[in-house]
Amino acid sequence: MSRVSKIISLSLAAIIGATVVYAQSTQEELNAAVELRHTNMKTRGANIGVLAKMAQGETPYDAAAASTAAAALLAAVSVDQTPFWLPGSENGMANDSFAAPAVWTNSADFEAKSAAMITAAEAMNAAAGVDLAALQAALPAVGAGCGGCHELYKIPEN
């Protein structure tokens, strides 16, 4: 099993495991929501890392590995995230939450940024296995998708 496949398998197992924990008391639901989104973000980050290292020449371009990472990224951004963003799971209300209250007070913009990230991941999924130049061309939109949301909707970790 390749490193990318292991990352994907472990991430999906963690998401499934966190989903099982989800049906508890209210505070436990909030904490589980945070855990779900942390797991999803780690999956995104791991796969973006694979793609970025190839784009920057830190690792050799590998069309199969790039395609696998791009597909996993697309799956992570496309999953129904409703259980991740329970009202009350913002920073200070649930364990280890870095979500800004603006996620809920400016939900239309938050959802638009989520949709833009899906679009960027779709473009990366189409480009990643083509060649290095296509991967490099698609990567900035993915980075902008991450940053666009984190700048407004994530409280910086201390």
pLDDT digits (tens, 9 = 90+) for 27-78: 999 999 999 999 999 999 999 999 999 999 999 999 999 999 999 999 999 9
The burial of 2, by beta-carbon neighbours within 10 Å (0-12 exposed, 13-18 middle, 19 or more buried), is given as exposed
- Between these two residues, 24 and 65, which has the higher pLDDT value? 65
Asked whether residue 127 is assigned to any structural domain, the reply reads: yes
In DSSP terms, 154 is beta-bridged to: 99
Asked whether residue 119 is assigned to any structural domain, the reply reads: yes
Asked whether residue 158 is assigned to any structural domain, the reply reads: no
Asked whether residue 47 is assigned to any structural domain, the reply reads: yes
Q: What's the whole-number mean pLDDT along residues 24-28?
A: 73
Distance between CA atoms of residues 5 and 99, nearest Å: 29
Q: What per-residue confidence (pLDDT) applies to 22?
A: 40
Task: Note the pLDDT tens digit of each residue in 69-123.
Answer: 999 999 999 999 999 999 999 999 999 999 999 999 999 999 999 999 999 999 9
Whether 42 and 7 have beta carbons less than 8 Å apart is answered as no
- Helix and strand numbers (H, E) in the chain are 6, 0
Asked whether residue 9 is assigned to any structural domain, the reply reads: yes
Asked whether residue 15 is assigned to any structural domain, the reply reads: yes
Identify the CATH number of the domain in which residue 58 sits. 1.20.120.10
In the predicted model, is pLDDT for residue 24 greater than 80?
A: no
Q: How many domains does the chain have?
A: 1
Q: Tokens standing for 89? A: 């799971």
Which structural domain, as residue segments, surrounds residue 111? 3-153
Report how far apart the first and last C-alpha atoms of the chain are (Å, whole number): 36
In the predicted model, is pLDDT for residue 19 greater than 60?
A: no
b/e per residue, 41-77, with b = 16+ CB within 10 A?
A: bbbbbbbbebbbebbeeeeebbeebbbbbbbbbbbbb
Q: What per-residue confidence (pLDDT) applies to 157?
A: 84
Instruction: Give the alpha-carbon dihedral of 109, 111, 116, 117, to 10 degrees.
Output: 120
Q: What per-residue confidence (pLDDT) applies to 97?
A: 96
